[in-house]
Chain A
Amino acid sequence: MIAQAIQTPRPVLPAEPETARPKLIIENVSKRYQSSRAAVDALETVSLDVADGEFVCLIGPSGCGKSTLLDIMAGLTTPDGGRVIADGQVVQGPGRQRLVMFQESALFPWLDAFGNVMFGLKLKPDLTNQERRDIAEHYLRLVGLEKFQHAYIHELSGGMKQRVALARALAPDPQVLLMDEPFAALDALTRDQLYDDIQRIWQESRKTIVFVTHNVREAVCLGDRVVLMSPGPGRITQIFHIPLPRPRDINSPELAGYASQIAAALKGITGRGAVSE
C-alpha cells in the first residue's frame, strides 16, 4: 500500500527570539514492522521540529509508535522513509550527542554507580581522567547521590537507579536527552520528586529533551509541548502548548485542567483504535 501523504500539522515553533534552527527535525519519518502474519505501520510520515532547549513530551496509547520514534531519533532504529536531522546533520546511527534514558535503568551491574557515570565519559577522548572524575562526581551530586558513588546497582532503589541513569545520560554533556518512559516503573512518591529534579536540572542545563510517556499529567508537568500520537498507523494527531510557569507542581489545578483536556483527546484516539483493531 502506498503511504498516504497525510500532512501532519507542522508545529508552530514558540515565538522565541532565538528561533534559529530547530535542534531536531523529524522529516516524514515512516517505519513499518513486517512480521510473518502482518505488517504494522509503526509510524507513517511523522514530522516534528524540536527547538533548542525545548522539552517535548510524546504521549499516546501503546502501539502509537512513540518509542519507535524515540529510537529513530536516537539512531538505534533506521526509518524506512524520511529522516531525522540533529544539529543540521542527518542521523545515521547512535551518537553521544543524543543520549537515551530507558524505562529500565539499563545500568551495568558490573560497575558501581560512579563507574556507570564514568562509562560514557571514558568514551570522550578529549577529557583528562581527572576531568572525567570531577564531571562524574558533579552529576552524581546533581541527582543527589554523592553518598552512593560506590554502591552497586542492585543496592539502589528503583528511584535511585533512575537517578544514576540520569546522571550517566547527562555526564557526557549530550545536546539532546531522549527519555523513554523513564519513570514508568517507579512509585508515585518517587516520581513526584523526580519531576522536581528533572525540571530543576533541565532549567539549569537547558538541554533539549524529548520525553516519551503514557502518563498525561507527567507530560503536562514536564513538557513545553505535548505531542499526542495515535496508533494504526502511528502518527501525530495533535500538539498542545503548555504555557504554565515553572517549576510546575504535578498536583496543581492549572495543570489538571490541561491534563483533562489532553486526556479527553487521548480517549477519543483509544476509542477509535479499539474499534479499528
Chain B
Amino acid sequence: MRRAFVAFLFFATLVLVWELAVRSGRWSAVILPSPVSVAEYLWASVLDGTLAEAIWVTMKRLLVGYAIGLVIGLPLGLLTSTSQILEDTVGAMALGFQTLPSVCWVPLALIWFGQSEGAMLFVVVMGTVWSVIIATDYGARSIPPIFARAARTMGSEGLHRWTRVILPASLPFLVTGMKQGWAFAWRSLMAAEIYVTILTGFGLGHLLHYGRELNAMEQVIGVMLAIVLIGLLADRLLFSPWERFLHTRWGTNVKAS
C-alpha cells in the first residue's frame, strides 16, 4: 500500500512538473503538448476505435513474428549448445547478427519484400531469432551436468532425456531467452512500422509516424504511452506466470519482476 502510494506520488509529480512546464509558456504546444491534450487524444482515439485497431494490427504482427522467431530460435539454440560444429557456424552467425540493431534490417526488407506485411514480418523475425538462439544456447549450457548423469543412470536416453530432463532443466533459461526475444521483437516491430509505410494495416508505429508528419505532438506522446503500457502488460501476462512457476519450483528468484 505504502509502495503504491509512493509510486503514485512520483508519477503524479512528474505529470505536475510537465503541466507546469506547459503553463510556463516557453514552448509551443507543437513541441510540448499539455498532459490534458494527450489524455484527450487518447480518450478520443479509444472512443473512435483507432487505438484499438492499431493495437490489434500491431499485436497480430508481433505475435506472428515472435512465434516464428521462437519456433526457429529455441531448437537452434538447443542444437548449438550440443554441437561444436553448429556452435562455430550458426552460433557465430547469431552472435554477429544479434549485434546488428534490428532497424538495420529495414532497407534490406524493403528491397526484398517491398512495402508489405512480409517486410514487416521479416524485420521482426530477424530482430527476434538471434537473441533467442543465444539466450537458449547459453541456458542449455548452464544445465548442471549432474542432472543428465542422474537421468542416464535411471535409464533415460535419447528423446526421453531431451523432453523430460534437458528441456525442463533449461526452462529458467528458455524463459529468459523468450523474454529477451519478446523485447527484441517489440523493438524491431516499432522500427519496422515507423519505416515501412503500408496500407494493409495501421499499427501503433504508423500512428506514431503520422503523428510526427501532422505535427500532432499529443498523438506522438499518447501513442508512446500506449506502447509503454502494452510492453508492461505483456510482461505481466506472458512472463509473470512462468516466472512464478519457476519461482515455486526452483526456489530461486530467476528474474525478479
Q: A102-B146, A104-B146 are in contact. Are A109 and B249 (CB under 8 A)?
A: yes
Surface stretch bound by B, among A12-20, A55-63, A92-100, A229-237: A92-100
Q: Does residue A155 face the partner (Cβ distance < 8 Å to B)?
A: yes
| B160:A110 contact, CB within 8 angstroms | no
Q: Which of B153, B154, B156, B250 contacts A109 (CB 8 A)?
A: B250
User: Are A109 and B251 neighbours in the complex by a CB distance under 8 Å?
Assistant: yes
Q: Is the CB of B155 within 8 A of A96?
A: yes
> If the complex has contacts A108-B165, A108-B168, A110-B169, are A123 and B251 also in contact, measured as CB distance less than 8 A?
no
Complex Cα gap A106–B25 (Å): 67
Closest to A171 in B: B154
CB distance from B187 to the nearest CB of A (A): 31
Which residues of the partner chain B approach A168 to less than 8 Å between Cβ atoms?
Answer: 154
Q: What 1/0 flags go to B121-154 for Cβ under 8 Å of A?
A: 0000000000000000000000010110111111
The size bracket of the interface on B is 20 to 34
CB of B149 within 8 A of CB of A152, answer no
Chain B residues positioned under 8 Å from A95 (CB to CB):
153, 155
CA of A150 to CA of B15, assembled, Å: 49
Which of A76, A94, A110, A154 is close to B155, meaning CB atoms less than 8 Å apart? Answer: A94
Q: Please tell me the number of chain A residues within 8 Å of chain B, measured between CB atoms.
A: 25
Chain B proximity of A42: nearest CB distance (Å): 17
Looking at the assembled complex, report how far the CB atom of A242 sits from the nearest CB atom of chain B, in whole angstroms.
27
- B200 in the interface, Cβ–Cβ < 8 Å? no
Known: A106-B146, A108-B147. Is A152-B249 also a contact (CB below 8 A)?
yes
Please, which residue of chain A has its CB at the minimum distance from the CB of B165? Answer: A108
A152 and B154 form a contact (CB under 8 A): no
Q: Which residue of A74, A104, A124, A155 contacts B153 across the interface (Cβ within 8 Å)? A: A74
Tell me if A99 and B156 are in contact (CB < 8 A).
no
- Say if the beta carbon of A11 comes within 8 Å of chain B: no
CB distance from A69 to the nearest CB of B (A): 15
Given contacts A109-B250, A110-B168, A123-B160, contact A76 B154 (CB under 8 A): no
* Shortest distance between the CB of A127 and any CB in chain B (Å): 13
Whose C-beta in chain B lies nearest to the C-beta of A110?
A: B168
**Measured CA separation A104–B149 after assembly (Å):** 12
Q: Tell me the bound Cα distance from A119 to B152 in angstroms.
A: 11
**With A109-B251, A110-B171, A155-B251 in contact, do A120 and B154 touch (Cβ < 8 Å)?**
yes
Q: Chain B interface mostly helix, strand, loop or mixed?
A: helix
Interface: B99 (CB within 8 A): no
Q: Which residues of A contact B252 (CB under 8 A)?
A: 154
Q: Are A76 and B152 in contact (CB under 8 A)?
A: yes
Q: How far is the CA of A123 from the CA of B160 in the complex (A)?
A: 9
Q: Smallest CB-CB separation from B150: which chain A residue?
A: A106
Q: Mark A123-166, 1 if CB is under 8 A from B, else 0.
A: 11000000000000000000000000000111100000000000
Contacts of B156 in A (CB 8 A): 119, 123
Q: What residues on A are CB-neighbors of B164 within 8 Å?
A: 119
User: How far is A108 from B154 in the complex, measured between Cα atoms in Å?
Assistant: 13
**Cβ contacts under 8 Å, B250 to chain A:** 109-110, 154
Query: Using Cβ atoms and an 8 Å threshold, which residues of chain A touch B89?
Result: none
Q: A residues within 8 A CB of B160? A: 123
Contact A102 B149 (CB under 8 A): yes
The answer on a CB contact under 8 Å between A100 and B248 is no
Residue among A96, A109, A152 with max Cβ neighbours from chain B (10 Å): A109
A182 in the interface (beta carbon within 8 A): no
Closest to A152 in B: B249
Q: In the complex, which residues of chain B have a beta carbon less than 8 angstroms from the beta carbon of A75?
A: 153
Contacts A95-B155, A152-B251, A155-B251 known; A100 to B168 CB distance under 8 Å? no
Binary contact readout A75-91 vs B (1 if CB under 8 angstroms, 0 otherwise): 11000000000000000
Residues in A whose Cβ lies below 8 Å from that of B155: 94-96, 120, 123-124, 172
- 30 A–B contacts, CB within 8 A, in A order: A75-B153, A76-B152, A94-B155, A98-B153, A99-B153, A99-B154, A100-B150, A102-B146, A102-B150, A104-B146, A106-B150, A108-B150, A108-B168, A109-B249, A109-B250, A109-B251, A110-B171, A110-B250, A119-B164, A123-B154, A123-B160, A124-B155, A152-B249, A152-B251, A154-B250, A154-B251, A154-B252, A155-B251, A168-B154, A172-B154
Query: Which positions in B face A, CB cutoff 8 Å?
Result: 144, 146-147, 149-156, 160, 164-165, 168-169, 171, 248-252
Kindly list the 3 A-B residue pairs having the minimum CB-CB distance in the complex, ordered from nearest. Answer: A154-B251, A120-B154, A106-B150
